[in-house]
Chain A
Amino acid sequence: MITIKNLHASIDGKEILKGLNLEVKAGEVHAIMGPNGAGKSTLASVLAGREEYEITEGSVDFDGQDLLELSTEDRAREGLFLAFQYPIEIPGVSNINFLRTSLNEIRDYKGEEQISAKDFMALVREKSALVELDAKLASRSVNEGFSGGEKKRNEIFQMAMLNPKLSILDETDSGLDIDALRIVANGVNKLKSPENATIVITHYQRLLDYIVPDVVHVLYNGKIVKSGPKELALELEEKGYDWIKAEVDAQ
């Protein structure tokens, strides 16, 4: 699905990603953990194509295509989805209008027909139920006046609507109470299939009780410094990151 090799990226002349390697196959769920400021959100932004970042080295293959050659919108249209750590508000634009525009742009790119109003509304009903999103929120302005938890749920709702190949969830669990966490995780699990893949960025182990990862990676100082089975998450929870930092610094 995605193969990242020796990725270096900087912003305002400061190098944040320093030779990152990662491979995620179709059907897999990977968790990326790491201390604050390690570069987790940077990785997500770079993959999504945020223009402020400069890629100085490395390559990213996305399902046989050179991801770094694609424009931001084409990456999305090819099936890369980012659930934002801080979802953006767009006043005056209804969630529904936003999603319909999005869905139709993606369809247009693939040479498919525009979705009919009827099919679209049926899809909205089905997918909002999946994340137990209040139907009223679907017609409100995008993220405007949403609580932190509602914003996160809205991200997963959008993900469900767009049915992406690769989803990157950036700290979708932070700010969620335990019920909301369960709902979001449940949504993600239901959307899982052998054809798609998920990267879950988090720094709490608790989300991984609900979304069970195939592999856990530790991102520290711009690199993946350790990878292991799901038990690694428990170990990190117990011992913190200092032993990893010590290990890395010793090398």
Chain B
Amino acid sequence: MGYTENELAKDLENQEYKFGFVTNIDSDKAPKGLDESIIRFISAKKNEPEWMLEYRLKAFSIWKEMVEPSWAHVHYEKPDFQEITYYSAPKQTKKYESWDDVDPEMKATMAKLGISLEEQQRLTGTNVAVDFVMDSVSVATSFKAKLAELGIIFCSFSEAVQEHPELVRKYMGSVVPMTDNFYAALNCAVFTDGSFCYIPKGVKCPMELSTYFRINEGGTGQFERTLVVADQGSYVSYLEGCTAPQRDENQLHAAVVELIALDDAEIKYSTVQNWYPGDKEGKGGVFNFVTKRGMCERNAKISWTQVETGSAVTWKYPSCILKGDNSVGEFYSVAVTNNFQQADTGTKMVHLGRNTKSTIISKGISAGKSQNSYRGLVQIHKNASNARNFSQCDSLLMTDECGAHTFPYIECKNSSAKIEHEATTSKIGEDQIFYCLQRGISEEKAISLIVNGYCKEVLNQLPMEFAVEAQKLLAISLEGSVG
């Protein structure tokens, strides 16, 4: 009985998956830097078909010609792309030698989030208790079986490339082309893994699909790739991220997320993002440059909901292309910045079809010395008659030293459009805090209550359990931040 190298590699990968931990073998790591040979290396490691390699190489040649963008309100030291390792063992969460080495502050945070000790140890990679991991695998397995019955495909991106190449080829890059922007082009060239999801015609996915269920399968890569396709008349709610603080040895994250909602389909995409923001001086945090975009066909609907508390620098504009008539795009966002964090987020709603509708609710919260910018574009094209947009952008300031900036852009080429924009900026009220204190509520709880109230419209969009976690996360991110 002979194995090919590839079969062996695949088998080993499955073993790793089963036991939920990964041994770092040196040969599994590409040398630092980026050139064509690295891309070939990645593609070979993943045993990719020729078309996938070609796609990567084409993206690479495009990327080389591009210049890294700069923005007025985000300042950071630009990453050195030759200093990055583009392929290493799948699980890239920073590992600790033992539970005692884990940052006490991080332990405290996780305890406050209500994460069990076992789970805390798993998240920090200090627990290799097989039964627990096995348990989560069995959950994942039974979960997958249920989905398979309905014809739903939910797997890693690499697996999709192998098992469902026709779907990947058809949809990958159809919403975010490789030429789209600097980071998207880079992602196309070097992405390591991500998630793929396909909901067949008319199927309503009966549960929230969460990347959490396959966290052991490959971990989140530095250059993650997500593709969600909802076929005609289908529905899916997809959850990304988790509230536990994510430390990562990789500073730069450049993910691409593409959503495709075909006629009459609906996709709800919720994100809670809590990457390491750096220390109190702002050192060592993650740079998060993400391209997220959805395409709505006729009568389709895409809702983006995000709660962003992490990262040193966030640059992110989940967008909707409302191509089909009567399609609907929604964007609900809470972005918290503290200490020296900088966030530049917002959305683009591109109205192409008739009777298209978009709603934007953005809640920025700035604390410490942070800078929080909302940048939104509402574009109404010539043929988009009766398009409607409602935007509400609120900023809450916790101190006198932080900043909030709102940049709403509107381009309207059809006179039948109705566009409404509301914006407010307020400082967290001392009167409100005093009122709470006078009712025996501690300052910490008071802030948490007030902030959660302020974000309610967005939090209400999240699935229940996720919303509860997100609320706790907001409270923790803002601890002791009034000034």
Contacts and interface: CB of A to CB of B under 8 A. Distances in A.
Interface string B435-478: 11111111101000110111111000000000000000000000
Contact of A50 (B434, B439, B441): B434
B5 interface: no
Given A98-B449, A101-B445, A105-B440, A92 B455 contact: yes
Contact of A92 (B429, B435, B437, B454): B454
B14 interface: no
B411 interface: no
A72 B432 contact: no
Contact of B453 (A50, A91, A158): A91
A73 interface: yes
Given A48-B438, A72-B438, A158-B439, A88 B432 contact: yes
A206 to B, nearest CB: 27
Contact of A90 (B437, B445, B450): B450
B6 to A, nearest CB: 55
Contacts of B441: 73, 98, 101-102, 105
Interface in B304-323: none
B431 interface: yes
Interface string B130-145: 0000000000000000
Contact of B452 (A76, A82, A93, A99): A93
B437 A49 contact: yes
Interface-centre pick from B432, B442, B445, B454 (highest chain A CB count, 10 A): B442
Interface residues of A, number: 31
A162 B432 CA distance: 19
Contact of B437 (A73, A81, A109, A141): A73
A51 B435 CA distance: 12
Interface in A157-207: 158, 162
B440 A109 contact: yes
A89 B436 CA distance: 11
A72 B442 CA distance: 9
A11 B437 CA distance: 20
B459 to A, nearest CB: 9
Given A77-B440, A102-B439, A158-B439, A72 B454 contact: no
A75 B434 CA distance: 12
Contact of A72 (B429, B437, B450): B437
A71 to B, nearest CB: 8
A141 to B, nearest CB: 7
Interface in A97-152: 97-99, 101-102, 105-106, 109, 141
Contact of B449 (A75, A87, A90, A109): A90
Contacts of B429: 88
Nearest to A106: B440
A210 interface: no
Contacts of A105: 439-442, 445
Contacts of A77: 440
B438 A76 contact: yes
A84 interface: yes
A88 B453 contact: no
Contacts of A81: 438
A92 B453 contact: yes
A76 to B, nearest CB: 4
Contacts of A162: 439-440
A169 to B, nearest CB: 13
Given A101-B449, A141-B453, A90 B435 contact: yes
A143 B311 CA distance: 36
A162 to B, nearest CB: 7
A12 B175 CA distance: 59
Contacts of A89: 432
Contacts of B432: 88-90
B183 to A, nearest CB: 35
Contacts of B457: 92
Nearest to B456: A92
B449 A93 contact: yes
Contacts of A49: 437-438
Contacts of A84: 435, 438
A139 to B, nearest CB: 13
Interface-centre pick from A50, A77, A92, A162 (highest chain B CB count, 10 A): A92
A76 B450 contact: no
A99 B474 CA distance: 21
B280 to A, nearest CB: 25
B10 to A, nearest CB: 50
A75 B437 CA distance: 9
A109 B453 CA distance: 24
Nearest to A103: B440
B435 A88 contact: yes
Contacts of B452: 92-93
Nearest to B453: A92
B453 A73 contact: no
Contacts of A87: 435
A103 B453 CA distance: 19
A83 B353 CA distance: 55
Given A92-B455, A93-B453, A105-B439, 5 more contacts: A73-B438, A76-B438, A77-B440, A88-B432, A93-B450
The 9 closest A-B pairs by CB, nearest first: A92-B453, A93-B453, A92-B456, A76-B440, A102-B439, A88-B435, A72-B437, A106-B440, A77-B440
12 contacts: A48-B434, A72-B438, A77-B440, A84-B435, A84-B438, A87-B435, A88-B429, A90-B436, A92-B453, A101-B445, A101-B449, A158-B439
